[in-house]
Structure 1
Amino acid sequence: MRLGLRSLESRMVMLLGFAGVSGALIYAGVSQWPLPQILVWMRQEGIDLGTPAHFGFYGGILVSMAFLLPLSLWLGHRVMSPVTRLLRALEGAVASYRDGDFSFSIAATRRDELGELIRMHNALGQTLREQRQNLTQRELLLDTVVQNTPVALVLTDASGRVTYANIAARHLFNDGRTLHGLNFAELISDSPEALRRAVEGGEDALLTVEMDGGEETFHLSQRNFRLQGRPHRLQLFRRMTRELSRQEVATWKRVIRVISHELNNSLAPISSLAHSGAELARRGDTARLPGVFATIGERARHLHGFIAGYASFAKLPAPQPSSIDWKPFLENLSLHCKFQLRGSLPEQPGWFDAAQIEQVLINLVKNAHESGGAEDEVSISLTVVSRDVRIEVADRGPGMSETVLAQALLPFYSTKRSGTGLGLALAREIAEAHGGRIALANREEGGLRVSLLLPLGPRADR
């Protein structure tokens, strides 16, 4: 900071210099001239004030201090007065900021360091006011969005009382009336049991309840967090009935399209062959009839297998897990499909339904061989991860695009012209029935990796 002649430091130096010069002059006037000469003249004139005609060193110091003390007090007051006023103003400003009032400004026209500090303080207040205004506008926008969202939002404090609820929550739980200050547990005491249990469970849930003479499906999300240092709980109730209905209709349409396509592919040839067989029989050309009947039988068997595949997906039995020794299980699997075993086998035995998991791995290895990569690059590896075992089936094919990866596990989704879209969906269904999961990912060096995660033992939460 540049210091001009009117800076606080220069003024203080000038006042201290003035005090020093004044002290020296007073001491000289008391001890040297003119006070000693005046006292001698007064005595010659017969005026005796009872004071010595000449002050010594200590006497001069005492007389000088008698004059300098009031002068020092006055000069100190002149120096510290603006600083004291500024400190008081800053104290009031800090108190206002603490109370959330940023409208406080200090009026001053000083051109020294204190004036610069005042200008910086006023600039800070202006910045805080602008930020407060922007924050208020954002809070207003956020509150408008939250209030008008169709998702019912309820925020409760540590005692379970509602501190915030949007319009959807008020209509869902209190006929449009405010929920603020109400005990949420008491509020939902008359709600369907499934809803109460889901809220008390404290976990995310998908539940269906009887409401307004029909069934409503909700997705419940619950989170604990600290707001202004105090524990709070946020609960979001999202109506899923319409969305699930749309998804259900879309799924049924997809199923109908797939089944219609497959039925047409089989029934059209069967109808044509039946007509040809009748014509051959009418003409007495029986030599060609066995071929016609064989083709009809092949198309009928294909159609039967297609329908059986859908039936097996719809009627998948509950798994019967048991302890599985890895070596004989993989040796038996190798009789059905070809693969390379990477790494060592886990010491812990597996815990799953051998028939179902074997079918899953057969389908996965078959898909790996059909990916277009080298056959000797199709591999299976097993890794223990905490209390689970991860079975990975990998290949060196082209992998999958992001779009296909996102939908490959959905029922009836297939990129093959003759595919039913049930293979990976069935694998996912079996994995989840075992308390595990399945995931697909492209390999960095090229190819696809399908990970099947299964528990190593029975779990109490399944």
Structure 2
Amino acid sequence: MKFRLSLVTRWSALVGTLLAVGIIIALALDHLLPGRPLAVLGICLLCVVPISIITLRSQVQPILSLFRALEGTVTSYRDGDFSFSLHWPQNDELSDLIAAHNALGEVLREQRLDLVQRELLLDTMVQNTPVAMLLVTEPPGAAGRVIVYANVAARQLLFEGHKLEGHALHDVLQKTPALVEALARGGDGLFTAGDGEEEEVYHLARRNFSLNGRRHELLLLRQLTAELRRQEVQTWKKVIRVISHELNNSLAPLASLAHSGAELVRRGQTERLPQILQTIGERTRHLESFILGYARFAKLPAPRLETIAWADFVAGLAGQVAFRLGGELPESPAHIDRAQMEQALLNLLKNAHESGSRPEDVELHVRRVQDVVRIDVFDRGTGMNDAVLTNALVPFYSTKRSGTGLGLALAREIAEAHGGRITLGNREGGGLAVTLILPA
């Protein structure tokens, strides 16, 4: 173990040694030049001062060099260069300072290496993702927004693989007017580009944030054509299965009843004909309502928003289906398509009555929560298991024997057309809670 000698001890020993040398010289001179104190003092100073200066300079010079080295490494650290380290041969307080300085440099080097590896990993992921990514901002004095980052997918999609950074967003998007229109609409959404067989469907997502004190916007473009086509095929298959099943369930009895009626007419036994014709009429009306339900779901128009007092709207609902109103209605009026929202809530309230719940346990709550309106329909029926909850909002899915699977799907379609959403969940103590969340 190296012997430790502190700065205070070392400098105290140095000063003591210089004083001792001065005293010895003074005593020797006093012996050689008795009775001449001024001469002794002058000669002593001429001897001791140069020796002290040379000695102190030899001790201070390495420390000054160390301070200059520390200043240089700190400047390098400030510039992001952490490759320097220092050495101090003495075992004193300065050696502790240099050890702490070198440890700091090692930590900064490890952090820089880790940061570089993370940046490399993130850049690799971003560059190889199939989602086109654009980061845009509006620099001071610029005429429009400028692209500051783009991945490979964005370059291939918008600029034939060339570099996009530094180009004006407006100039880059001149060849894609569909994307310009999607950006002008604001928010996230789908848009199509191309015509005929070359038509492609994209999803545009937009996120705003501040970076280095400047507003930036991240644009994410994802091509959904293949996924939507696969989903479309699956949906058509399901629609065809449901329609075929319903038609067979109605046409087979109709054919059998028609044959029975013809046979009774042939035999002259017409007393059962009214019953057969009544059954044929009921099945025909059921089939008609089934087809009209599908047509209504497929032809849902865009909502025509109007301002309506919640009290008037709820009173109209109460005239068509029984329910108990819970809580106070919002004072601010609703901005909805009255016919569509009425249809959606009628479906939800009728489902609540058909769930096995007592009529007095069917409740409607309308309340405003911050910037949304929350409409809850509660019942105390049998609720739903996990499988039914997962598929309840899927079109044509139904657990009812005579259900079409369009009630909840139509309610979801109407909610989403209003910019909202619908959620389902079982209630504690039994029953179901269906919630429509709409922008206020």
TM-score bucket of the superposed structures, by smaller chain: 0.7 to 0.9
Q: Tell me whether 1:39 sits opposite 2:33 in the alignment.
A: yes
* Secondary structure of 2:19 counterpart: helix
* Secondary structure of 2:33 counterpart: helix
Query: For 1:187, which of 151, 162, 172 is the aligned residue?
Result: 172
Whole-Å separation in 1 of the counterparts to 2:41 and 2:355: 108
Query: For 1:8, which of 6, 19, 31 is the aligned residue?
Result: 6
Distance 1:291 1:218, change over 3 A: same
* Secondary structure of 1:188 counterpart: helix
Moved more, 317-326 or 115-124: 317-326
Whole-Å separation in 2 of the counterparts to 1:444 and 1:4: 74
Query: For 1:138, which of 118, 122, 141 is the aligned residue?
Result: 118
Contact in 1 for aligned 2:178/2:191 (Cα 8 Å): yes
Task: Give RMSD over aligned pairs.
Answer: 3.5
1:422 Cα deviation from its structure 2 partner: 0.9
Query: For 2:192, which of 204, 208, 220 is the aligned residue?
Result: 208
1:276 Cα deviation from its structure 2 partner: 3.1
Whole-Å separation in 2 of the counterparts to 1:370 and 1:195: 46
Q: Name structure 1 gaps, 5 residues minimum.
A: 41-51, 457-462
Whole-Å separation in 2 of the counterparts to 1:301 and 1:421: 18
Aligned residues: 435
Superposition map of 1:262-301 within 5 A: 262-301=246-285
User: What's the counterpart of residue 48 of structure 1?
Assistant: none
Whole-Å separation in 1 of the counterparts to 2:397 and 2:113: 52
Whole-Å separation in 1 of the counterparts to 2:135 and 2:297: 42
Q: Deviations over 1:399-432 (max 9, x none)?
A: 4456655543332233434322211222233344
* Secondary structure of 2:347 counterpart: helix
Q: Tell me whether 1:93 sits opposite 2:77 in the alignment.
A: no
Q: Tell me whether 1:53 sits opposite 2:49 in the alignment.
A: no
Contact in 2 for aligned 1:341/1:380 (Cα 8 Å): yes
Whole-Å separation in 2 of the counterparts to 1:131 and 1:323: 58
1:307 Cα deviation from its structure 2 partner: 1.0
* Secondary structure of 2:272 counterpart: helix
User: What's the counterpart of residue 403 of structure 2?
Assistant: 419
Q: Name structure 2 gaps, 5 residues minimum.
A: 140-144
Contact in 1 for aligned 2:30/2:40 (Cα 8 Å): no
1:259 Cα deviation from its structure 2 partner: 1.0
User: What's the counterpart of residue 162 of structure 2?
Assistant: 177
Contact in 2 for aligned 1:412/1:420 (Cα 8 Å): yes
Contact in 2 for aligned 1:363/1:423 (Cα 8 Å): yes
Query: For 2:22, which of 21, 26, 45 is the aligned residue?
Result: 26
Whole-Å separation in 2 of the counterparts to 1:200 and 1:316: 25
User: What's the counterpart of residue 393 of structure 1?
Assistant: 377
Whole-Å separation in 2 of the counterparts to 1:333 and 1:230: 50
Query: For 1:254, which of 235, 238, 255 is the aligned residue?
Result: 238
Contact in 1 for aligned 2:132/2:220 (Cα 8 Å): yes
Distance 1:148 1:212, change over 3 A: farther
Moved more, 401-410 or 411-420: 401-410
User: What's the counterpart of residue 85 of structure 2?
Assistant: 105
* Secondary structure of 2:194 counterpart: strand
Distance 1:223 1:322, change over 3 A: closer
Distance 1:324 1:232, change over 3 A: closer
Q: Deviations over 1:260-297 (max 9, x none)?
A: 11112212222233333334444444333333333222
Superposition map of 1:378-457 within 5 A: 378-385=362-369, 389-397=373-381, 399-400=383-384, 404-405=388-389, 407-434=391-418, 436-443=420-427, 447-453=431-437
User: What's the counterpart of residue 315 of structure 1?
Assistant: 299
1:249 Cα deviation from its structure 2 partner: 1.6
TM-score after normalising by structure 1: 0.80
User: What's the counterpart of residue 197 of structure 1?
Assistant: 181
